[in-house]
C-alpha cells in the first residue's frame, strides 16, 4: 500500500514538474518576443498595398492604444527609434478609436498633443490603465487626471470635447480601417507598407528603416 502511494506521489511530482517547465517555456518565449528579439519565421516582413508611391516626406504612422499591453512594451523602442529617423521622414502616433473607451482615450491623446502635454502624461496613462486598472468613463475624469501635468484641466477639457478633436479622431480611425488593420500595435510606412509585427519588434523597426531609406532614395532620384 505504501509503495502504491509512493508511485502516485512520484507521478504527481512528475506532472507538476512538467507543467512548471511548460509554463517557464511559454513565459520565456513571450518575453523573448515582447522585448523585440523574435525572428522572421512567421512570414514576410511587410505587406505592400496596391497603392502608388507618395511624394514629399515619407510618413511613418504608429497606431496604438493606452489599453494595449503590447503597445506599452513597444513604446520604449518606438521612442528611441523615431528620434533617429532620417531627414525627410516624419513620425506620427494615432490612437485607435474602435470602442467607446478607446475613442475617449484617442481624444485625450489628441488634446494632450495639442497642449504640448503629451510627454508629461503619456506614460502616466499607460500606468494608470494597466498597473492600477483605472478606467476613465468621462471626459471630466480624464481632465482631473492630467490637471497640473503641463496642462490645465479646463483647457484640456475644452480641447478634448471640441469638434476639431472629434474630426481628427474620426480621420485617424478611417485611415486605420482603410489600411485593413484590425489590431495594435501597428506600424505603417507611407500609407503603403504594413510592417509585420510578428517578426519581432526590433526587426520590425529595422524593416521600417529600410523602407524609409528606399522611399527617400527614390524621391531624391538616387
Instruction: Write a three-state SS string for 3-59.
Output: HHHHHHHHHHHHHHHHHHHHHHHHHHHHHHHHCCCCCCCCCCCEEECCCCCCCCCEE
Checking if the pLDDT of 89 tops 90, the result is yes
pLDDT (0 to 100) of residue 30: 38
Of 170, 157, 154, the closest CA to residue 102 belongs to 170
pLDDT classification of 101: cutoffs 50, 70, 90: very high
Of 118, 139, 138, the closest CA to residue 64 belongs to 118
* Beta bridge partners of residue 48, listed in sequence order: 193
State the Cα angle at 26 between 9 and 98, rounded to 5°.
135
Checking if the pLDDT of 218 tops 60, the result is yes
Q: What DSSP string runs through 86-122?
A: PTTEEEEEEE--SSHHHHHHHHHHHHHHHTT-HHHHH
Cis peptide before 102 (omega within 30 of 0): no
pLDDT (0 to 100) of residue 220: 84
Poorest-pLDDT segment among 36-40, 102-106, 175-179: 36-40
Q: Position of cell 486598472? A: 133
pLDDT (0 to 100) of residue 76: 86
Q: What is the rounded end-to-end Cα distance, in angstroms, of the chain? A: 83
Classify each residue of 109-135 as buried b or exposed e, where b means 16 or more C-beta atoms within 10 Å of its C-beta.
bbbbbbbebbeebbeebbebbeeeeee
Poorest-pLDDT segment among 12-21, 111-120, 145-154: 12-21
Sheet containing 58-64: which strands, arranged edge to edge? 46-48, 193-195, 186-189, 58-64, 89-95
Phi-psi region of 221 (alpha: psi -120 to 50; beta: other; left: phi over 0): left
Q: How many CB atoms lie within 10 A of CB 217?
A: 12
pTM of the model: 0.80
pLDDT (0 to 100) of residue 6: 53
CB-CB contact of 142 with 151 (8 Å): no
Q: pLDDT tens, 11-22?
A: 555 544 443 444
Mean pLDDT along residues 89-103: 97
User: Which comes out higher in pLDDT, residue 128 or 15?
Assistant: 128
User: Which comes out higher in pLDDT, residue 157 or 32?
Assistant: 157
Checking if the pLDDT of 208 tops 50, the result is yes
All three cell numbers of 130: 494597466
Q: pLDDT tens, 32-56?
A: 333 333 333 457 999 999 988 888 8
pLDDT (0 to 100) of residue 142: 98
Amino acid at each position: 500500500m505504501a509503495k502504491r502511494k509512493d508511485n502516485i506521489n512520484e507521478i504527481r511530482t512528475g506532472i507538476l514538474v512538467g507543467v512548471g517547465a511548460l509554463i517557464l517555456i511559454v513565459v520565456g518565449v513571450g518575453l523573448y518576443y515582447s522585448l523585440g528579439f523574435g525572428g522572421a519565421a512567421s512570414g514576410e516582413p511587410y505587406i505592400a498595398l496596391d497603392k502608388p508611391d507618395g511624394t514629399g516626406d515619407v510618413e511613418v504612422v504608429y497606431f496604438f492604444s493606452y489599453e494595449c499591453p503590447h503597445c506599452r512594451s513597444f513604446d520604449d523602442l518606438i521612442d528611441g527609434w523615431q528620434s533617429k529617423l532620417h531627414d525627410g521622414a516624419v513620425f506620427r502616433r494615432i490612437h485607435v478609436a474602435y470602442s467607446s473607451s478607446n475613442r475617449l482615450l484617442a481624444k485625450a491623446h489628441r488634446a494632450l498633443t495639442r497642449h504640448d502635454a503629451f510627454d508629461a502624461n503619456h506614460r502616466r496613462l499607460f500606468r494608470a490603465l494597466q498597473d492600477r486598472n483605472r478606467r476613465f468613463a468621462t471626459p471630466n475624469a480624464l481632465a482631473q487626471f492630467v490637471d497640473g501635468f503641463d496642462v490645465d484641466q479646463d483647457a484640456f477639457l475644452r480641447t478634448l470635447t471640441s469638434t476639431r478633436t472629434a474630426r481628427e479622431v474620426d480621420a485617424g480611425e478611417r485611415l486605420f480601417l482603410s489600411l485593413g488593420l484590425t489590431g495594435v500595435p501597428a506600424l505603417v510606412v507611407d500609407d503603403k507598407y504594413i510592417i509585420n509585427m510578428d517578426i519581432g519588434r526590433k526587426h520590425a523597426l529595422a524593416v521600417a528603416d529600410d523602407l524609409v531609406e528606399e522611399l527617400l532614395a527614390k524621391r531624391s532620384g538616387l
